[in-house]
Amino acid sequence: MAQGYSSPDQAQEESDRGLADAALRVADLLVQRGETLATAESCTGGWIAKLLTDIAGSSAWFEGGAVTYSNSLKQKLLGVGSATLDRHGAVSRETAIEMVAGALNRFDTAIAVAVTGIAGPTGGTRDKPVGTVWIGWQRRGSDALVEGFRFDGDREAVRRQTAAAALRGIVKILTR
């Protein structure tokens, strides 16, 4: 194999290591601060929670998560308003804000993260193409921080980038 070339399998392994390292960083910071975390996931289907619970001892700082793929579960489990979903859609800044607030309250944690997006390959529109993702982070007692993204790639790539961005945001909140 030529120097500097990496196969798709090697790139995947490096990406997986990067995600695992980011999750470990989150774990270390939560342990240092004695805080707990919850997740509310749509487009990632629980991938963020999986990354966090791959770490032995995660029950000390990871309270749990909800995979709220359908709008009805976003409403029932997280308290997302039907008016929000009707007006802005499931993939929106407003929905991410309500999802993260709902996770924070439902799981009674110090910090929560919520993700909602269109991973593809279908479901995109001109206004919200495949790869559109909104992520919300919130620390109890503070306003939610929300960021919109447009990720490239196939379904797995969008989901992987979403999980990575969510973990980076948690680190930012924990290191402020």
Q: Calculate ∠ Cα 8-13-15, nearest 5°.
A: 95
Report in angstroms the alpha-carbon separations of 132 from 69, 129, 155, 167: 15, 6, 11, 17
User: Containing domain of residue 132, as a range?
Assistant: 9-174
| Position 28 in a domain | yes
CATH number, domain of 47, equals 3.90.950.20
pTM: 0.93
- Identify whether 168 is part of a domain: yes
In this structure, is residue 103 part of a structural domain? yes
- pLDDT per residue rounded down to tens, the chain (176 residues): 445 555 667 667 778 899 999 999 999 999 999 999 999 999 999 999 999 999 999 999 999 999 999 999 999 999 999 999 999 999 999 999 999 999 999 999 999 999 999 999 999 999 999 999 999 999 999 999 999 999 999 999 999 999 999 999 999 999 98
Q: How many domains does the chain have?
A: 1
Residue 43 domain flag: yes
